[in-house]
């Protein structure tokens, strides 16, 4: 173990089991770790790895049915088995917790000020007024502007980022010794995530608390944690200092995780390292090492005996792998452990010139009227969801469309998929103006434009077996019966599934396999253009890489064009040739992927890119973040002039004379260099990643 003389928290042999009629679900198995005073420990794992259950066990907040074994000591005091009364005295005062979803984690019927005050009063004899004013102080500390007034707001009146700040205010209300943050930024957009991480830093400085940060995002903890522990199938499989684990991972699973994430700071089409298969169900763990079925280094012993967490290489680093010593001795890198297929060279800018356009939009507009009144509706406003965007997708090209939630990217995509005359502007698909199509032509054109949605479980009919899911578009478009069956078999092979999968139903597949089915369905009619709406954001990290690689491969083999809509800029960098950045219904920057990521010119793009954490601890510690103030304004109240000026760091630094232009004149996209356009009056390229 880490030679911490007097750990603040010592966890030994912690196990959590959920009894179930079909067999016990062993969510957490034999977890050991220490947390020193003031230290930050990152616990990384995919969904179902048991990372949240382990944290809730420490807090004694697991549901009543859970069986908890082992020991958790806080300053030497045993917590497991304490009664509710004793535990409630510790919770919030010595150990506090920030939960993932700040909407459901706040009681909807109480004002936020009350909820924070309640946390204060739970451990202090304070009058109502004293608690209230302490609550306001706390809300100020976590950066809620106008805290006194905002304290009277209900949770539903706040944005996600604000709610998470309230959660943090509650957690630090009593100066805890330990702060556990369970996926504190997962539900948030990147710029808001950067704000919240900053607040967590402030909170830590204010309280001096030790922290446990639980996340699936290796980037989030890289710059934040001192030590990191990787969890898989309920166990810790690797543990050590951040630098050691990120630079010299010694457990193949950690290597796979690090290799499978696309990097926002790396150019070129480095193929991702996908980990085969999916994590095992905690109810049916394989014998031996639970990672053995997916491990490239597997040998006989792995199936027989589960490896213990043991020191490697004389560093304070532990890995649970029979072959850790070999990996250490050979200094193996992830690319050497995982077999990496070399991918075809990326189509460069030169190949794009003169290629026919598959899709073009000109000043595409979609406004929704805001109506009031029950019987007589009157318009009280306009939601300017898409407010004039022009973009093109060339043949064989991938255009990444990025922006935060609420920026209008999904609306834009649905408008394009309608294939009808848009509310304003033009949509041209394969040289055909959609406004001029008749019903038959439109139907014919639909074959050429297909879509893959974010959530494959919701977009696949649960009552249809896979064979019918895939055959449906073919039958709809009148493909001959014999041909349908043949085509379905082709499609299944194409996306890397097996024939025997055809008779199963979507819910019997893992998330990654389901998304493969959705992709196969989109490809059934051999389209030219595939619109991908957040195709990998619902998938676990280790599975994501496989789907991304599949999309790449299919594009090259079938000569597809993609319109790739996503909020994850790392994935977009990895798959796109060109990128368009959207803010409040407008494009603010468009450019070749390497130009745009290498030197974004619009302040919004710069802030977005700088907000993304990179899974590289050394780099992460030295990066300066451009923090955007506040939240995305409502598209019903678009600011005048440049619509970004309310949050723009550049605008804030301008003198009054130059500001006037931003306030009065809406900037158009204009070239800032070869293959890059930005809609900013004062655009300047700046390296941020």
Partner 1 sequence: MAKFLLRRLASSIVLVAIAASLAYVLAAASLSPRSNFEGRNPPPPAAVVERELEARNLNDRTPIIERYGAWATGLVRLDFGESWDGTSVNAEMARRIGVSLRLLIIATILGSVLGVLVGAWGAVRQHRFSDHAITFASFVILSTPVFVLAVLLEIVAVGVNDATGVSVFEYTGEFTPGLEGGFWTLAVDRLQHLVLPTLTLVLAQIAIFSRYQRNAMLDVLGSDFVRTAQAKGLRRRTALLKHALRTALIPSATFFAYNFGLLLIGATFIETIFGWHGMGEWFIESVRRNDVNAVAAVSCFAAVLVLFAGLLSDLAYAVLDPRIRVGA
Of 153 and 654, CB closest to partner 1:
153
Binding of residue 607 to partner 1 (CB under 8 A): no
- Dist CA 47 CA 216 (whole Å): 8
* β-sheet bridge partners, residue 676: 591, 673
Binding of residue 380 to partner 1 (CB under 8 A): no
Binding of residue 18 to partner 1 (CB under 8 A): no
- Dist CA 488 CA 613 (whole Å): 41
Least separation in angstroms between CB 84 and partner 1: 5
Binding of residue 104 to partner 1 (CB under 8 A): yes
Least separation in angstroms between CB 136 and partner 1: 17
CA distances for 320 relative to 193, 240, 251, 509, angstroms: 32, 12, 7, 29
Binding of residue 59 to partner 1 (CB under 8 A): yes
Binding of residue 63 to partner 1 (CB under 8 A): yes
Of 173 and 502, CB closest to partner 1:
173
CB atoms within 10 A of CB 37: 15
What residues contact residue 278 under an 8 Å CB cut-off, 6+ apart? 510, 511, 512, 513, 540, 543
CA distances for 343 relative to 397, 411, 497, 524, 550, angstroms: 16, 33, 20, 24, 11
- Dist CA 153 CA 113 (whole Å): 8
* β-sheet bridge partners, residue 366: 386
Of 104 and 420, CB closest to partner 1:
104
Report the Cα 374 to chain-centroid distance in Å.
Answer: 39
CB atoms within 10 A of CB 110: 14
Structural tokens at position 257: 């995780």
Least separation in angstroms between CB 63 and partner 1: 7
Least separation in angstroms between CB 150 and partner 1: 15
- Dist CA 142 CA 128 (whole Å): 21
Residue from the set 4, 80, 82, 105 that interacts with partner 1 by CB under 8 A: 105
How does strand 40-44 pair with strand 227-232?
parallel
Residue from the set 5, 109, 439, 656 that interacts with partner 1 by CB under 8 A: 109
Residue from the set 17, 174, 193, 570 that interacts with partner 1 by CB under 8 A: 174
Least separation in angstroms between CB 157 and partner 1: 8
Binding of residue 168 to partner 1 (CB under 8 A): no
Least separation in angstroms between CB 69 and partner 1: 21
Least separation in angstroms between CB 122 and partner 1: 4
- Within the chain, what is the greatest distance between any pair of CA atoms? 79
- Number of residues assigned to the chain: 689
Of 107 and 507, CB closest to partner 1:
107
Least separation in angstroms between CB 370 and partner 1: 13
Structural tokens at position 168: 């943090």
Least separation in angstroms between CB 283 and partner 1: 20
What residues contact residue 138 under an 8 Å CB cut-off, 6+ apart? 116, 120, 169, 170, 172, 173
Of 181 and 518, CB closest to partner 1:
181
DSSP 8-state secondary structure symbol assigned to residue 152:
T
Of 3 and 108, CB closest to partner 1:
108
Residue from the set 128, 156, 301, 377 that interacts with partner 1 by CB under 8 A: 156
Q: 141 — phi, psi (to 5°)? A: -60, -40
R_g of the chain, CA atoms, integer Å = 26
Binding of residue 236 to partner 1 (CB under 8 A): no
Binding of residue 373 to partner 1 (CB under 8 A): no
How does strand 318-319 pair with strand 310-311?
antiparallel
Of 96 and 230, CB closest to partner 1:
96
Q: 520 — phi, psi (to 5°)? A: -60, -40
Least separation in angstroms between CB 476 and partner 1: 40
Positions 113 through 152 that interact with partner 1 (CB under 8 A): 118-119, 122-123
Residue from the set 26, 51, 91, 645 that interacts with partner 1 by CB under 8 A: 91
Binding of residue 96 to partner 1 (CB under 8 A): yes
Of 23 and 152, CB closest to partner 1:
152
Residue from the set 173, 222, 261, 419 that interacts with partner 1 by CB under 8 A: 173
Per-residue contact track with partner 1, 71 to 90, x per CB under 8 A? -------------xx--xxx
Q: 649 — phi, psi (to 5°)? A: -65, -30
CA distances for 291 relative to 205, 232, 305, 322, 540, angstroms: 38, 8, 12, 12, 16
Of 115 and 410, CB closest to partner 1:
115
Give the alpha-carbon dihedral of 47, 52, 53, 58, to 10 degrees. 160
- Dist CA 155 CA 111 (whole Å): 7
DSSP 8-state secondary structure symbol assigned to residue 91:
B
Of 80 and 686, CB closest to partner 1:
80
Least separation in angstroms between CB 654 and partner 1: 37
Least separation in angstroms between CB 39 and partner 1: 21
Least separation in angstroms between CB 123 and partner 1: 5
Least separation in angstroms between CB 118 and partner 1: 6
The dihedral through the CA atoms of 349, 351, 353, 359 has a sign that is: negative
Q: Which residue has the tokens 């931003």?
A: 662
Of 168 and 255, CB closest to partner 1:
168
Residue from the set 112, 141, 170, 519 that interacts with partner 1 by CB under 8 A: 170
Residue from the set 8, 14, 27, 97 that interacts with partner 1 by CB under 8 A: 97
How does strand 318-319 pair with strand 398-402?
unpaired
Q: 144 — phi, psi (to 5°)? A: -95, 115
Q: Please give the residue ranges that form the binding site for partner 1 (CB under 8 A).
A: 56, 59, 61, 63, 84-85, 88-93, 96-97, 99, 101, 104-111, 118-119, 122-123, 154, 156-157, 167, 170-171, 173-174
């Amino acid at each position: 173990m880490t030679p911490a003389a007097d750990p603040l928290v010592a966890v030994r042999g912690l196990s959590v089991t959920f009894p179930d009629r079909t067999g016990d679900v062993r969510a957490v198995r034999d977890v050991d770790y220490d947390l020193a005073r003031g230290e930050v420990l990152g616990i990384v794992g995919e969904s179902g790895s048991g990372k949240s259950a382990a944290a809730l066990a420490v807090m004694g907040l697991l549901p009543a049915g859970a069986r908890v074994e082992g020991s958790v000591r806080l300053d030497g005091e045993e917590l497991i088995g304490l009664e509710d009364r004793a535990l409630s005295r510790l919770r919030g005062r010595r150990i506090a917790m920030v939960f993932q979803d700040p909407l459901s984690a706040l009681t909807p019927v109480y004002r936020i000020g009350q909820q924070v005050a309640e946390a204060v009063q739970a451990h202090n004899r304070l009058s109502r007024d004293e608690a209230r004013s302490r609550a306001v102080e706390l809300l100020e500390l976590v950066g809620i502007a106008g805290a006194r007034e905002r304290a009277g707001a209900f949770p539903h009146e706040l944005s996600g980022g604000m709610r998470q700040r309230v959660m943090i205010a509650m957690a630090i209300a009593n100066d805890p010794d330990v702060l556990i943050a369970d996926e504190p930024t997962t539900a948030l957009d990147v710029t808001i995530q950067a704000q919240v991480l900053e607040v967590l830093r402030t909170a830590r400085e204010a309280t001096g608390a030790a922290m446990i940060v639980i996340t699936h995002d290796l980037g989030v903890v890289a710059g934040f944690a001192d030590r990191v522990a990787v969890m898989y199938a309920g166990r810790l499989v690797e543990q050590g200092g951040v630098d050691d684990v990120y630079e010299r991972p010694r457990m193949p699973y950690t290597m796979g995780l690090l290799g499978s994430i696309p990097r926002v700071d790396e150019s070129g089409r480095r193929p991702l390292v996908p980990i085969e298969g999916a994590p095992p169900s905690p109810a049916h763990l394989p014998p031996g090492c639970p990672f053995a079925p997916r491990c490239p280094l597997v040998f006989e012993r792995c199936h027989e005996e589960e490896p213990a967490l043991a020191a490697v290489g004389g560093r304070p680093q532990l890995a649970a792998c029979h072959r850790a010593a070999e990996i250490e001795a050979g200094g193996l890198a992830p690319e050497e452990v995982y077999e990496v297929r070399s991918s075809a060279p990326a189509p460069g800018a030169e190949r794009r010139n003169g290629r026919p356009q598959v899709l073009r939009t000109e000043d595409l507009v979609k406004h929704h009227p805001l109506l009031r009144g029950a019987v007589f509706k009157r318009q009280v406003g306009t939601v300017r969801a898409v407010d004039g965007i022009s973009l093109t997708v060339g043949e064989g090209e991938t255009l990444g469309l990025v922006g935060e939630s609420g920026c209008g990217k999904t609306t834009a995509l649905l408008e394009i998929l309608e294939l009808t005359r848009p509310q304003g502007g033009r949509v041209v698909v394969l040289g055909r103006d959609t406004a001029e199509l008749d019903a038959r032509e439109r139907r014919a054109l639909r074959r050429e434009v297909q879509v893959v949605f974010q959530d494959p479980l919701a977009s696949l009919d649960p009552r249809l077996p896979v064979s019918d899911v895939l055959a449906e578009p073919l039958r709809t478009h009148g493909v001959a019966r014999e041909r349908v069956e043949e085509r379905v078999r082709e499609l299944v092979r194409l996306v890397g599934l097996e024939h025997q999968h055809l008779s199963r139903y979507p819910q019997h597949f893992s998330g990654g396999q389901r998304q493969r089915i959705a992709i196969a369905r989109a490809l059934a009619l051999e389209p030219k253009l595939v619109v991908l709406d957040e195709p990998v954001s619902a998938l676990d990290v280790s599975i994501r890489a496989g789907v991304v690689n599949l999309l790449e491969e299919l594009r090259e083999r079938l000569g597809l064009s993609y319109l790739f809509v996503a909020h994850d800029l790392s994935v977009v960098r990895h798959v796109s040739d060109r990128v368009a950045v959207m803010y409040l219904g407008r494009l603010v920057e468009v450019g070749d992927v390497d130009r745009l990521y290498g030197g974004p010119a619009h302040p919004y793009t710069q802030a977005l890119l700088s907000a993304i954490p990179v899974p590289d601890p050394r780099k992460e510690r030295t990066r300066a973040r451009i923090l955007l103030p506040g939240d995305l304004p409502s598209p019903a109240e678009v600011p005048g002039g440049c619509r970004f000026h309310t949050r723009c760091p550049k605008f804030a630094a301008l003198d009054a004379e130059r500001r006037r232009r931003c306030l009065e004149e809406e900037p158009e996209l204009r070239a800032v260099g070869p293959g890059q356009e930005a809609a900013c009056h004062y655009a300047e390229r700046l390296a941020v990643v």
